[in-house]
Amino acid sequence: MWIADKYPDYIKEVVELTQVQIPLKSVMPSVTPVCFGTFYTGVQPEIHGIRKYEKPVIKTESFFDALISQGKSVAIVAETKSSMAMIFLEREMDYYHFKNIEEVNACAARLILEDKYDFIACYNGNYDTQMHRTGTESVEAIEELKKNAADFEMLLHAAEKAWAGKRCVAAFLPDHGCHDIDGNLGSHGLEMPEDMDIVHFYKLWK
């Protein structure tokens, strides 16, 4: 949230193209597998089972399971070995794993335009990776943030084209915040506003 507040121009595509912003608080520890475990199950870490940075398959019923039970077609598109690629395996859905976000986003765009799925989760972890290396506000990290916003715009426009006339929702969903530590490195996982306060962006159309 603090990055969205401080640098709205760097995510202007997300801000301008969505209709609803929802402030939320992450869970502890505020690291990716714990956060996404809670996002997509709706239960706390002590229930879904991931309580530290590890990537076991979650057995708790998830949003994906609910969609599948209603006959919906579902896919996750993510980088190989990322949390999103691993913690929701072993379900009757499709998984597309790639070595970089360029391939991830190209696949997501293709799947959208093919109108193959009712729900697609597309994971981009490039800002997180870069801020760990060079700091949360480094030039390199901000460039990755801008790329995330531009890629969201690209995928949203693809969805608007492919799913015109259908009831749809698109969302840009950060999983946790971040802060700087010694050595000009970024980090997260603490119970502090910088790591815990997040904001989600939604657009609905039909």
48-103 per-position pLDDT tens digit: 999 999 999 999 999 999 999 999 999 999 999 999 999 999 999 999 999 999 99
Distance CA 145, CA 81 (A): 21
Q: How does the average pLDDT of the chain come out, rounded?
A: 96
Q: What is the dihedral angle through the alpha carbons of 123, 24, 50, 28, rounded to the nearest 10 degrees?
A: 130
Q: Residue range 181-204: average pLDDT? A: 94
Model pLDDT, residue 36? 96
Distance CA 149, CA 10 (A): 8
Bridge partners for 201 per DSSP = 21, 172
Q: Could you please report the per-residue DSSP string of 111-125?
A: HHHHT--SEEEE---
Model pLDDT, residue 206? 84
Q: Residue range 149-162: average pLDDT? A: 96
Distance CA 9, CA 190 (A): 27
Among 58, 22, 35, 46, residue whose Cα is nearest residue 201: 22
Model pLDDT, residue 182? 83
Alpha helices in 18-174 (DSSP H): 32-39, 45-48, 63-69, 83-86, 101-114, 126-134, 139-162
Model pLDDT, residue 184? 81
Among 98, 99, 95, 101, residue whose Cα is nearest residue 75: 95
Among 158, 81, 70, 173, residue whose Cα is nearest residue 121: 173
Residue 183 has pLDDT above 90, yes or no: no
Q: What residue type is 110 in one-letter code?
A: R
Q: Are 56 and 64 in contact (CB under 8 A)?
A: no
Q: Are 31 and 189 in contact (CB under 8 A)?
A: yes
Interhelix angle 126-134/139-162, rounded to 10 degrees, is 180
Contacts of 162 (CB under 8 A, 6+ apart): 112, 113, 114, 115
| CB-facing half-sphere around the CA of 158: CA atoms within 13 A | 18
Structure confidence by residue, pLDDT tens digits, 2-47: 999 999 999 999 999 999 999 999 999 999 999 999 999 999 999 9
Model pLDDT, residue 16? 95
